[in-house]
Amino acid sequence: MDIYITRHGQTEWNVAYRMQGLNNSPLTEEGVNGAINLGKELNGMTPRFSMCFVSPLKRAIDTTELALSQVDYEIPVTVETLLREMDLGAFEGMNKQDASYVYPEAYEAFVHDPDNYEPVDGGESFADVIERARQMLDKLHELKKEGESGPVLLVSHMIMVEALLFASGTTDAKNLRETGPIKQTTLYKLTV
């Protein structure tokens, strides 16, 4: 089973370098165009996608709807809570500069040392997100065992895409945050 993972389109908070987590902001014009272009790319791929799983957060759902509006066949969509973004606790809504000033040690670990990051005022650890990623991959593995073999699309968020790549064995945990930026509306391929 081929799994294609993508990050939602650019949002207003992405442009402002604000940390969204479970919060949300609207797609920008670039985000809308990115989602439409993603859909055109999906439409030209073979074999056809058999299903799509999307995070319950609005920016991911909006990206999915825009992308799939460009596909000339129906792809069943399931909203999947396992694909939501990392709960960032106190970081949510803060811009990166303020987060690094108010919580310097936690922010440094968040960016450069995920093994030692401890959530601030609630939120999830990277281990929590990686566990959700493993659960998602297990769910897909079960679908494969049940006979599903067509490509699957996952629409999610930056840290969850990093976690899925890690959970699939394609990167090292200590380097989880150093995979380079996960580009929006870009496809990353895994094979189960």
If we measure between CA atoms, which residue out of 85, 29, 31, 27 comes closest to residue 56?
85
CA distances from 136 to 12, 123, 127, 130, 139 (A): 28, 20, 14, 10, 5
With b for 16 or more beta-carbon neighbours within 10 A and e for fewer, the 89-105 pattern comes to bbbbebeeeebbeebee
30 is catalytic: no
Residue of 80, 85, 124, 162 with catalytic role: 85
End-to-end CA distance of the chain: 5
Q: Is 102 helix (H, G, I), strand (E, B) or coil?
A: helix
118 is catalytic: no
Amino acid at position 69, single letter: S
Residue of 8, 92, 124, 162 with catalytic role: 8
Q: Is 80 helix (H, G, I), strand (E, B) or coil?
A: coil
How far is it, in rounded angstroms, from Cα 18 to Cα 31? 16
How far is it, in rounded angstroms, from Cα 17 to Cα 11? 10
Q: Show which residues are catalytic.
A: 8, 85
